[in-house]
Amino acid sequence: MITCAEAVRRFWDYLDDSLSAKDRRTVEEHLGFCRECCGELEFAKVLQGALARQTDGDELPEDVRRRMEQLARELQV
Domain boundaries, the chain: 4-75
- Whether the predicted pLDDT of 62 surpasses 80: no
Tell me how far apart the alpha carbons of residues 6 and 2 are, in angstroms, rounded to a whole number: 6
- Give the closest residue to 60 by CA, choosing from 70, 71, 50: 50
pLDDT of residue 72: 73
pLDDT of residue 30: 96
Q: What is the pLDDT of residues 12-58, one digit of tens each?
A: 899 989 999 999 999 999 999 999 999 999 988 888 887 777 655 56
CB 26 within 8 A of CB 32: no
